[in-house]
């Protein structure tokens, strides 16, 4: 099955991803739980009636697609949820197991979501993906997610994208000239956060398997030194795959621009759009 080969590049950043990437807003998780109505449950406590109306399953069970090193797994594991996490990258999956070692109710499986063969009786209360859903084959992902949910179960996804509010840091206008000179420019205008495209909502609707019940954006800013920002860029597929000489020149220019600032830092804004669908 043809897939975007860039989705395999993240394994090269397995040891740095957890620290370099931003945490998602705590309000995002709170809202996710409010909209879906899921609760951790207790061992042996039914999570609700089965599809046939018989006895419920034991405890609330979540499925995470593309968990990476556990960035979005840890907050829900700390909340007490039972989670099965699927991760394509061998090194990333190993990091996830390390970060989640204190949570016996969480299991990490090394596989692509497309190739993963769940147990015949596997049912989940929520399927979710953080900054990973776009890398899964659209011909498979919605049908497979729906097959693992009871009617009324939920599918949720969110990304962490670069946001450009009206007061965004002018550093990015300056460094964009370097990207353009290297032939690495995005080629698209920078949309403000309120009109960030949300392909997940459209795909959920078009699948005919889910109805969109929530779409909520989040925007926040973080400060970075040159070393911190370069460490972040080294977790992005495009930068990992970039020609080494071009990448070296880019990073030299980042250091040069930030060295001219009194505090040597930049502000990068992030945008996450939480999209939730309910299984029809």
* Dist CA 185 CA 24 (whole Å): 26
Domain extents for the chain? 5-165+191-224+269-279
How many CB atoms neighbour CB 139 within 10 A? 10
* Dist CA 152 CA 106 (whole Å): 23
Question: What pLDDT score was predicted for residue 9?
Answer: 78
Q: Kindly state the average pLDDT of the residues 122-133.
A: 96
Question: What pLDDT score was predicted for residue 54?
Answer: 33
Q: Which two tokens stand for residue 265?
A: 């830092």
CA 101 to chain centre: 21
How many CB atoms neighbour CB 199 within 10 A? 14
Phi, psi angles (nearest 5°) of residue 277: -115, 150
In this predicted model, what pLDDT tens digit does every residue of 57-99 receive, in sequence order? 557 999 999 999 999 999 999 999 999 999 999 999 999 999 9
CA 255 to chain centre: 28
* Dist CA 204 CA 156 (whole Å): 10
Kindly provide the b/e burial profile for residues 73-97, where b requires at least 16 CB atoms within 10 angstroms of the residue's own CB: bbbbbeeebbbbbbbbbebbbbbbb
Average pLDDT of the residues of the chain:
90
Ramachandran area for residue 191 (φ above 0: left; ψ -120 to 50: alpha; else beta): beta
Banded model confidence at residue 52, pLDDT cuts 50, 70, 90: very low
Report percent pLDDT > 90 for the chain: 81
Decide if 274 contacts 29 (C-beta within 8 A). no
User: Hey, which residues does 211 pair with through a beta bridge?
Assistant: 278
Q: Kindly state the average pLDDT of the residues 39-59.
A: 49
Report the topology of domain 5-165+191-224+269-279: Rossmann fold (3.40.50)
* Dist CA 244 CA 255 (whole Å): 16
Pairing of strands 82-87, 61-65: parallel
Q: Considering only 28-37, 55-64, 102-111, 147-156, which range has the smallest mean pLDDT?
A: 55-64
Question: What pLDDT score was predicted for residue 116?
Answer: 98
DSSP 245: H
Banded model confidence at residue 56, pLDDT cuts 50, 70, 90: very low
């Amino acid at each position: 099955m043809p897939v975007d080969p860039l989705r395999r590049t993240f394994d090269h950043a397995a040891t740095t991803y957890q620290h370099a990437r931003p945490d998602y807003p705590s309000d995002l998780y709170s809202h996710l739980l409010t909209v879906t109505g899921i609760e951790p449950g207790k061992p042996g406590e039914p999570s609700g009636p089965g599809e046939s109306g018989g006895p419920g399953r034991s405890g609330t069970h979540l499925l995470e697609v593309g968990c990476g090193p556990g960035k979005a797994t840890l907050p829900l594991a700390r909340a007490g949820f039972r989670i099965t996490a699927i991760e394509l990258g061998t090194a990333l999956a190993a990091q996830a197991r390390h970060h989640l070692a204190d949570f016996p109710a969480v299991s990490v499986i090394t596989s692509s979501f497309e190739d993963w063969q769940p147990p015949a009786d596997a049912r989940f209360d929520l399927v979710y993906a953080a900054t990973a859903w776009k890398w899964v084959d659209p011909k498979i992902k919605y049908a497979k997610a729906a097959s693992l949910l009871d009617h009324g179960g939920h599918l949720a996804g969110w990304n962490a994208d670069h946001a450009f509010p009206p007061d965004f840091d002018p550093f990015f206008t300056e460094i964009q000239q370097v990207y353009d000179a290297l032939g690495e420019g995005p080629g698209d205008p920078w949309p403000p956060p309120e009109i960030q495209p949300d392909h997940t909502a459209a795909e959920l609707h078009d699948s005919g398997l889910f109805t969109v019940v929530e779409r909520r954006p989040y925007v926040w800013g973080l400060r970075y030194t040159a070393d911190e920002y370069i460490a972040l860029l080294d977790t992005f597929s495009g930068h990992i795959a970039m020609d080494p000489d071009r990448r070296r020149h880019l990073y030299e220019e980042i250091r040069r621009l930030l060295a001219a600032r009194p505090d040597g830092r930049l502000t990068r804004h992030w945008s996450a759009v939480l999209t939730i669908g309910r299984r029809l």
